[in-house]
Amino acid sequence: MSASLYASTAAQFVRGLQNLSALLEKGAAWAQENGKSEEEILNTRLAEDMYPLARQVQITSDMSKGAIARLAGIAAPAMEDTETTFAQLQERIAKTLHFIESVKPQQLEGDESRPIVVKGKNFELNFTAHSYVTTFAVPNFYFHVTTAYNILRHVGVKIGKSDFIGAI
């Protein structure tokens, strides 16, 4: 038996966002202790063609709330992508968590073969609910959480695997 769509998405997203919030807390404290500006840390990227830390957090939020909204057949809350401080990113994570937690598990369940369409500026991706979760939404979520973690490690924040995984 496969995991429910709720367990495969919302439950993981909540935990991942809570852990990301804790990582950002450590990043903010480290920046202050080491005389680094928030702007410097939040604009750090691992490679020139990659998004900086702040954008990684925004995309993590977008991926999780978008996935839950698509699976539940409801609108995701709009967020402007204007965060420039750790506090603003924490507020965004809190809003994302509030939205995800407001969706009941049964709203996500149903026909795993139902169509899910992701539209971008210049593309349209077509999935089943199951393939959307397993090949797009969850992998993208973890890619951006991991990249945010790696940027914080890269600048010197003392975090490790247990910070990424969270309490067990």
Q: Going from the N-terminus, what domains does the chain have, and what CATH number goes with each? A: 5-165 (1.20.120.450)
pLDDT digits (tens, 9 = 90+) for 89-139: 999 999 999 999 999 999 988 888 999 999 888 999 999 999 999 999 999
- The 3 state secondary structure assigned to the chain is CCCCHHHHCHHHHHHHHHHHHHHHHHHHHHHHHCCCCHHHHHCCCCCCCCCCHHHHHHHHHHHHHHHHHHHHCCCCCCCCCCCCCHHHHHHHHHHHHHHHHHCCHHHHCCCCCCEEEEECCCCEEEEEHHHHHHHHHHHHHHHHHHHHHHHHHHHCCCCCHHHHHCCC
Predicted confidence (pLDDT) at residue 1 exceeds the cutoff of 50:
no
Predicted confidence (pLDDT) at residue 143 exceeds the cutoff of 70:
yes
Q: Which residue has the higher pLDDT, 3 or 115?
A: 115
Mean pLDDT of 134-152: 97
